[in-house]
Structure formats: structure tokens, C-alpha cells
Structure 1
Amino acid sequence: QVEHLCKRDLFLTQILQGRKAPDHTTIDRFIRRHGNAIDGLFFQVIERLGSLGELSKDIIYQDGTKVESKAGRYSFVWKKATSKNLDKLYRHIEILLSEANNHLGWTLDFKDYDYGLDTLIEQLKGTGKDLIPKRTGRGHRISEVQKLYRDALVYKEKLNRYKDYLSSMVGRNSMSKTDPDATFMRMKDDYMRNGQLKPAYNLQVLVDSGYIVGSLASADRTDYATMIPAIDHMHKSLTWKYSKYCADSGYDSQQNFEYLEEQGVRAYIKPQGYEQEKKRKFRKDIGKKENMTFDADQDCFICTRGKKLEHKYVRTRKNQYGYETTTHIYRCRRGCKTCPTRSACMKRSKAPYKQVQVNNKLAKYHRQALNLITSDEGSEIRVNRSIQAEGAFAQIKANWSFRRFLHSGMSGVHTEWLIMCLAMNAIRLGNRLARNEIGKPFHYRISEETA
């Protein structure tokens, strides 16, 4: 399409000034080779927007979406299946090396499978025998040495392939054969209604006054792990830092709250479960710790039947990114087995006694965030997040029908996405110039009548 526009569009032909229009391969090659330059150009544009007074430089909004990869939809590789196949392959290699030792009188090592296969292949080549049969098929038997050589080559290729898959899937559970950086994710546009997973990338945008001022392409299916790298990259590239941050519950994690606190950024993040806690069903659920009484002096919860859930132990865990969290476990010591409200309190749990888990540090961050988002300023900020951050994706995905990448690989995908962000910022600036709104950063105000 760009090649066609360079030949037919009056604006682009004037820019070319009579020079030959580039073809699509030249455009593709330029994008692949100059990713860093395009990234630098993106932030130069943001700096220029800031000098024009188009940015508030105060609050940043983040949201994410998933865009399908160029890879085939059935090119999946699953980590669990690969690990299982690798274990089976190890057993087959042991049998193969054992057969080689018995048949040829060798002593090949069973522990190092790579070394064992390489040694077997080299020693078979040194026998001087024909390792590749001249005729194959029905009625033509192959010798034992030829069979060993054939199986050794097959196992060696599989071993290298499985190891490559697992090394490419560090921190992920899936990948695509034709685009190893893509992860299989569940998309919203599920036309078959069967929950089909597709190779995709998780795209993040940071928006200020309707302009995309930061972006990140990630292979992670979750949003909460993308906040810190996205903000770090943006702050390293800009000459100012934001003092407020707003996002939905997908970015709610202790690590994110702690990072924002260290950076001196006020976090307007909706806690997970915020919408459920407002419902009557949640407030009447006697099994929820939020509906129990907490005795700070005795450090215990008291259920509706007056039984104490005493502090039992502290559990420390590390997530897949190496971040450590501490959880306090409270458990009732007696009375749960014969309690008349057991079915309402413990539902279908087969545990003998009621148990609840509390992360005090995360609970403190949740209280702070709840106070911020329920204030008048917080309500207005959340409305602006829906308008600005989600509006950016609506423009690119719905209005421009951008649903699938043309490039593969993380660098190519990130560069292609940056070009889309540059285009959106340019169109928005042009519209504001036409309306004579330059110098007045956009921020939707909730009037008293609306409130």
C-alpha cells in the first residue's frame, strides 16, 4: 500500500520531488535496518510535542492490547509438550547407546547425551562401512550399523531442536516455529468461539493528552510485567518524568506499586477485585477475609461464628521474574468440621479448617490506590484513561483495521508498531492544528451536572 501511495498520492509524490518511488522490499528493508533510528525519531517527535505545549507532562495513562503475529496459527510449540518429548528422547538415546555398546563392543557415556551421540556418529563413520543404504523400501533390509547411524542422526537433530525450543521459550510456555518471539495468546476476536490461541504480541502504550509518548512490544501474555520496562524506556528517552500514573487492574502487582513508590510516582491503579467488592454477593460472603473482623492485638481474624483464625506461618515466594513476596497464613484451629455455616464459608473445600492468606504490603498499596481512585480527582483521571489510552487502540485497530503485523521478530514488530504510533500522533496534531487547539493539552473535565 505504501508503494502504491508513493506512486499515486500527490502529497508523497511532492515529497519525492521526481525521484523514483521505492518498492515494498526497499521499504521493508529500511524498517528492518533502522529500528533504533526510528525509535530515536519517535522520542524526538514527543519532545517537539512537549515544546509545543501539547503534553501535560504530569500524568501518564497505560493500556495494552494483543495484535496477531505474522506467524502461522498452527505453528505452535508448547513448553510442557517439548519437555515431555525431551525426556522421552533421553530414554531412546540411552537405549541406542546401550545397543551400540552391545553390538560393537564400545563403552559410550550415557550421562552426556550430546557427547554420546557425537561420539557414536564419529565412530560409526570411522568403521569404513556403508552407513547409507543404497536401496531402501520393501524387501531391502538395512544392516545394524546403518540402523544405528540413522537413529543417531535423527536423535541428534531432535535433541538440538528441542533444546533450541526450550532456550527460546525462557519465561514463556509457548512459541511459534515461524516467529520464535511470538507467544500464543487468547485473543478477543474469537470468531470460532472455541478459545483458539493465536501467535501474538502484547503491545503497550503510554499516553499523555491523547498522544502516545511511550510504547513497548512484549511477548508476555500478562500486562503487569510490562509496566516497569515501558516506563523505564520512556523516562530514559525523555527530558522529563511523570508524577502520576493511571492503569487498570491488569497492572496491579506489588512489584509495580513498589517501583512507582521508589520513583516518586502517585499510582492510580485499580486494585484487582475492585468491581467484585462493590457487589452485594461479595459483601455477604462470610468466607471472605474482608468480611471478617481482624484483631490487631491478638493478630487473628474472627469469623461470623466467633472462631479465631490465628497466625500460623509466613510464606515467601518468588515469581517467574525473581520478585519476592511475603504472605501471612491464618488458620482456624477447631470447630470448622462441625460448623453449621461450613458450606457457606468454605464452599467445596476439602480442607479440615478455614485458612486465609494476607499480603500486608500489597494490602497497604491497595488501600492507598483505593483512596486515590475514589477521590474526585481519581474519578476524573480514570475517565481520561478510558478516553485516551483505550481511544488510541480504537483508532489504530478499529479505524485503521490494524489487526496483524507484517514483520516477524521482536525488533521488527516494535519498529512497525512505532511507525503506527508516529502516524497516529501526526494525525492528531494535524486535527488539533485545524481546530486551533495547539498549546492546550487535552484533559476531559467532569462537570458537576455530569457527576
Structure 2
Amino acid sequence: MSCSSNIVFKDYTPNQVMLLPPCLEELIAENHPVRVVNDVIDRINIDPLLSCYKPGGTSVYHPKMLLKVLVYGYLSNIYSSRKMEAALQENIHFMWLSAMSRPDHNTIARFRSERLKDHLKAIFGQIVALLVDEGLVSIKTIYTDGTKIEANANKYTFVWGKSIKNSKDRIAKQLDELWTYTQKVAEQELKDEPTPDFEQVDAEKVTKTIQKIDQALDGKKVDKKVRQKLAYAKKNWPDKMAAYEQKEAVLGNRNSYSKTDKDATFMRMKDDHLGNAQLKAAYNWQISSSDQFIVNYTIHQNPTDTLTLKPHLDQFEKLYGKQAENLCADAGYGSEENYEYICEKQIGNYVKYNYFHKEQTKKYKEDPFRVDNLYYNPDQDKVYCPMGQPMDNIGPHRRLTTNGFEQTYTRYQARNCSSCPLRGQCHKAKGNRIIEINHNLGAHKQTVKQNLLSDKGVAYRKQRPADVEAVFGNIKQNKGFRRFMLKGIKKVEIEAGLLAIAHNLNKKAA
């Protein structure tokens, strides 16, 4: 007798036809995240989204169903429209969510790229408002940070602004040399022609200048190399200048872009396990969080966080009709322009500035030669050096930031440093010491310092890394999202929005 005869197996008859097939509703757990996605999206108003459909024609899939499928796809770490198409035929959660509808990948991709581009942010705002009403999140105090996400672009096909400038300067220099040579050879022909300004050249100016040079040298005895250079210039320079101008128009205020995604900028990213930085085409994704829920998101082409804060907070106000009461962010956002904006909007300022932590050290505080530690008398508008001698106001100095913001620095000069016994420790430059002080920025820093060192500020500083940085950690590590799948900033914003919605609904379901 076989020993297996005593083993009792559960019934297994895979080919048996069921009299009453199971209902998908019964197969899905009551607390499953797919139910949260279905419930929340059923409660929001998508009338603006419906307005982009034209009446008549053949029937189309309902946008609410497609939105649910996309959000649940991003929640389930499925970002490809082809994989979503497969899931709608194989995954009971997708099948239940779509009511057994089976849109193909083209339908899903077109809906994501075309239908959602002008409406997803409003949908995101509605979902956050629902979470606020349920008491799950507050938008009074927000924590802001950014991360760079790689673009769907070839990192070896790039255009650099500096390279374009060098090429234009080289053409301008050679054109100037040709003009100078022509003036010597054909002085009579060019006597009524003003000397062109070769500091700023464009395709039209290059074309006209070459034509004038060619006409002036016609019939003249010209060096063979000059004739060759002129022939090359006539054939190539106007087209090259036109191409450079087109590339500069794409660049805008950036210093680079990718040829395969012209909206993507090359940014320095820490990729390997040792944290070594690499230049890759990427986007700067900014978010604001509260209780680890994403309450605002924006996509930027500039790698510098300082320049992203104002448009990011403008987007927050557009979403909710008001600004947050308090803002906490790291030193990457601390600038005079941002502090002015925060003050204007009457937001509680808990944004660090450079050297905030260094200022708290004993070594920094006890250094009598640092500009920040010198005594300033506002009534007399004088700064006093470590020897107690007055430094006189010698006038303002203005600077423009890369964003076009004007900063005003007041310059102060000591009266007699030559015989000072502390000169060697105080400064190394020739003559009397000159310092620059930005009084407006200093006042903002003093306010921020008081806020950050208060009990509330200390609590915010402790919470910030656990709040906003944890969100990025979850998206990059747990969800494995490290590269956008779509190209162009508008489509990338859609992906960021779907990720933000999926993150929030997954947290609500947890």
C-alpha cells in the first residue's frame, strides 16, 4: 500500500465549470487601497475634465474610470500604459476598478498625456481638500523640499549654452578680422560704411556684413586664404548663426538641454552607492508635505532650489486660495528674494539660511573679525572694527541675482589700518579694510534665527526631514520611481501629479 494513500488533499478540479462564478466584489478585501482610490475619485468633481470631450461620434471610455486606472496603476508601481493594459485583463483589482472595461494602451496613454494636462492639478487639490476635511492632513504648516528626477532623455545628446556662446564669439571675432582686412584692402569702397558692432551678432547682421565685404573685395587682389575664409563664411556662417539662435530660444535662462527632451536640463545628480555626482538630463521636482501627505507639487527646469520657491508657493495659493501659515525648509531656499516674498505673503518664516548652524558654534561666535560679529551703530550708520575704531559708510553697491532680483550692499571702510596691531589677523588686502553689509538681508536673517531657535522652530526643524524627505524616500525606494517615462515638462507634471495622488491615497489606505 502506497504511503501517499493516507494523505488528504484539498479538492483541486481546475476544469470544473462553476454554476455560480465568484463576484469580483467578494474577492477584494474591505480595506484594500483600490477601494480608497475608487471612493475618493467618485467624490471629486471632474466636470472641467468632461468639458474637453466633444459631443457626438462614437462612444468613449469614461474619464473617471481611466483616471482611477491611472492612479491605481501608479499606486501599484505600474507606470507603463502597456502594463496597465495587461493588468486590466489579468488583475482582479484593475478589472473591478474598470468594471471589466478594457481600454488599450493607446487610449490610456492619450488620456494621460492629452486629457489630463490642464486638469490634474485641480483634481489633486480637490483630493487634498477631502483629506483636510477628514482631518487626515493640515495645510497650515508645510515642509518644502526638492529632488532631481532623471528625464526620459539621452544623456549623450546635449546642447550647452556656453558652447553656443563660444561659437558665436568665434564667428564674431573672425568676422571682425575680415572686416578689418577689407578696410585696409578696399578703404575707398567702405568709407561711407559704419564699422559694425561685433559684440552682439545675429544671423541677419552676419549675412549683411559678409555681403558688404564680398562686394568691397570684388575685383581686388585678395590673399588666397582670406578668399577661402570668405567663401566658407558665405556658405556656413548665416545658417550656423540661425541654428545657434534657435538653440538659444530653447535654452531660455538655462545653461543646457537635451536634444531628445528639450525641456530637460542637465543637472548634477548623486547616483551611485558612493554618492558620486553625474550630469544627467533631469527635472527638479518640488513638493510641500504635511504629515507625510503631499499638499503641493511643481516641476522646474532650474536645478537651483532657491529659484523654485516663489513659483512653488504661488501654485499653493492657486490651489487653495490662501497661503500656508508656516513654512519650514532647508538652507537651499534661504535668500533675500525668498525672504521678501515670505514676508509679503505673511507666512511664518522657518526657512534656514547658509551658516545658520555654523553661527551657533562657539568658534564662530567668538571670532571678533567676522563681519557678522562687528558692532553696528544704526543711529550713526557706522560699523566698529575689533579695535573699536569706526568704519565709515562709503556708499551702496548693488548686485543683480541670476533671477533679476536687485540686492543692495552698504560698504564701510576703516580709517587707519596701517598701524593697527591686529591688521594681520583682521584682513590681508592692501589699504584700509572694506566690508559690505546687506542690512535688509540681515534683518530677515535675525527674524528667521529667532523663529528657528524658538520651541516651535526646533519642533519644525526636527519634523522636516521625517516629513518631506521621507516622502521622496518612499517614492524613490519603495515605489522604485527614479526616471520619468514621459517627455516634455507638461507631461512630466502629469506624472508627478499622478505620483502625488497615488502617494496620498496609499497613505490614506494604510
TM range (shorter): 0.7 to 0.9
**Is the partner of 1:163 in helix, strand or coil?**
helix
Match of 1:11 in 2: 93
Match of 2:480 among 401, 406, 416: 401
Measured after TM superposition, the shift of residue 423 of structure 1 is: 1.0
Alignment of 1:280 onto 2:362: yes
Alignment of 1:159 onto 2:241: yes
CA distance in 2, matches of 1:43, 1:82: 41
Measured after TM superposition, the shift of residue 178 of structure 1 is: 2.3
Measured after TM superposition, the shift of residue 86 of structure 1 is: 0.9
Match of 1:344 among 422, 425, 430: 425
CA distance in 2, matches of 1:72, 1:230: 28
Amino acid at match of 1:114: A
CA distance in 2, matches of 1:150, 1:311: 57
**Compared CA separation, residues 158 and 6, structure 1 to 2 (3 A):** farther
Deviations 1:244-278 (A, max 9, x none): 11111111122222222222211111222111112
CA contact (8 A) 1:327 1:360 kept: yes
Match of 2:458 in 1: 379
Deviations 1:303-356 (A, max 9, x none): 223333222111223323232222111121322x4544334332xx43433222
Match of 1:368 in 2: 447
Match of 1:114 among 197, 203, 220: 203
**Is the partner of 1:378 in helix, strand or coil?**
helix
CA distance in 2, matches of 1:98, 1:312: 44
**Is the partner of 1:187 in helix, strand or coil?**
strand
Match of 1:50 among 128, 132, 136: 132
CA distance in 2, matches of 1:26, 1:344: 71
Match of 1:206 in 2: 288
**Compared CA separation, residues 119 and 239, structure 1 to 2 (3 A):** closer
**Is the partner of 1:310 in helix, strand or coil?**
strand
CA contact (8 A) 2:330 2:351 kept: yes
Alignment of 1:27 onto 2:103: no
CA contact (8 A) 2:271 2:277 kept: no
Measured after TM superposition, the shift of residue 99 of structure 1 is: 11
Match of 1:256 among 321, 333, 338: 338
Alignment of 1:303 onto 2:385: yes
CA distance in 2, matches of 1:232, 1:262: 12
CA distance in 2, matches of 1:40, 1:115: 45
CA distance in 1, matches of 2:447, 2:206: 60
CA distance in 2, matches of 1:315, 1:119: 41
Match of 2:433 among 354, 357, 368: 354
Alignment of 1:220 onto 2:302: yes
Measured after TM superposition, the shift of residue 152 of structure 1 is: 3.9
Match of 1:422 in 2: 501
CA distance in 2, matches of 1:246, 1:193: 26
**Is the partner of 1:397 in helix, strand or coil?**
helix
Amino acid at match of 1:378: G
Q: CA RMSD in A?
A: 3.3
Amino acid at match of 2:492: V
Match of 1:313 in 2: 395
Match of 1:177 in 2: 259
TM-score (norm 1): 0.79
**Compared CA separation, residues 219 and 99, structure 1 to 2 (3 A):** same
**Is the partner of 1:259 in helix, strand or coil?**
helix
**Is the partner of 1:368 in helix, strand or coil?**
helix
**Compared CA separation, residues 414 and 163, structure 1 to 2 (3 A):** same
Measured after TM superposition, the shift of residue 286 of structure 1 is: 3.1
CA distance in 1, matches of 2:346, 2:323: 10
Measured after TM superposition, the shift of residue 400 of structure 1 is: 1.6
Match of 1:293 in 2: 375
Amino acid at match of 2:475: I
CA distance in 2, matches of 1:307, 1:214: 51
CA distance in 2, matches of 1:121, 1:338: 62
**Is the partner of 2:119 in helix, strand or coil?**
helix
CA contact (8 A) 1:121 1:149 kept: no
Measured after TM superposition, the shift of residue 193 of structure 1 is: 7.0
Measured after TM superposition, the shift of residue 217 of structure 1 is: 0.6
Match of 2:154 in 1: 72
Alignment of 1:392 onto 2:474: no
CA distance in 1, matches of 2:410, 2:182: 56
**Compared CA separation, residues 117 and 399, structure 1 to 2 (3 A):** same
Measured after TM superposition, the shift of residue 396 of structure 1 is: 0.8
**Compared CA separation, residues 341 and 189, structure 1 to 2 (3 A):** farther
**Compared CA separation, residues 298 and 92, structure 1 to 2 (3 A):** closer
CA distance in 2, matches of 1:296, 1:98: 57
Residue segments in structure 2 that go unaligned for 5+ positions in a row: 1-77, 212-225
CA contact (8 A) 2:306 2:332 kept: yes
Match of 2:313 in 1: 231
**Compared CA separation, residues 78 and 265, structure 1 to 2 (3 A):** same
CA distance in 2, matches of 1:185, 1:9: 38
CA distance in 1, matches of 2:433, 2:449: 28
CA contact (8 A) 2:210 2:233 kept: no
**Is the partner of 1:352 in helix, strand or coil?**
coil
Match of 2:329 among 204, 225, 247: 247
Amino acid at match of 2:157: S
**Is the partner of 2:426 in helix, strand or coil?**
helix
- Report sequence identity in percent: 29
CA distance in 1, matches of 2:376, 2:350: 27
Alignment of 1:37 onto 2:126: no
Residue segments in structure 1 that go unaligned for 5+ positions in a row: 123-143, 432-451
**Compared CA separation, residues 98 and 273, structure 1 to 2 (3 A):** closer
Match of 2:166 in 1: 84
Moved more, 10-19 or 386-395: 10-19
**Compared CA separation, residues 399 and 338, structure 1 to 2 (3 A):** farther
Measured after TM superposition, the shift of residue 100 of structure 1 is: 12
**Is the partner of 2:253 in helix, strand or coil?**
coil
**Compared CA separation, residues 64 and 162, structure 1 to 2 (3 A):** same
Measured after TM superposition, the shift of residue 163 of structure 1 is: 1.0
**Is the partner of 2:138 in helix, strand or coil?**
coil
Match of 1:325 in 2: 407
**Compared CA separation, residues 415 and 152, structure 1 to 2 (3 A):** farther
Deviations 1:88-133 (A, max 9, x none): 223456788999999xxx99999586347768999xxxxxxxxxxx
Number of residue pairs matched by the alignment: 405
**Compared CA separation, residues 412 and 149, structure 1 to 2 (3 A):** farther
CA distance in 2, matches of 1:362, 1:49: 37
**Compared CA separation, residues 254 and 97, structure 1 to 2 (3 A):** closer
CA distance in 2, matches of 1:120, 1:329: 46
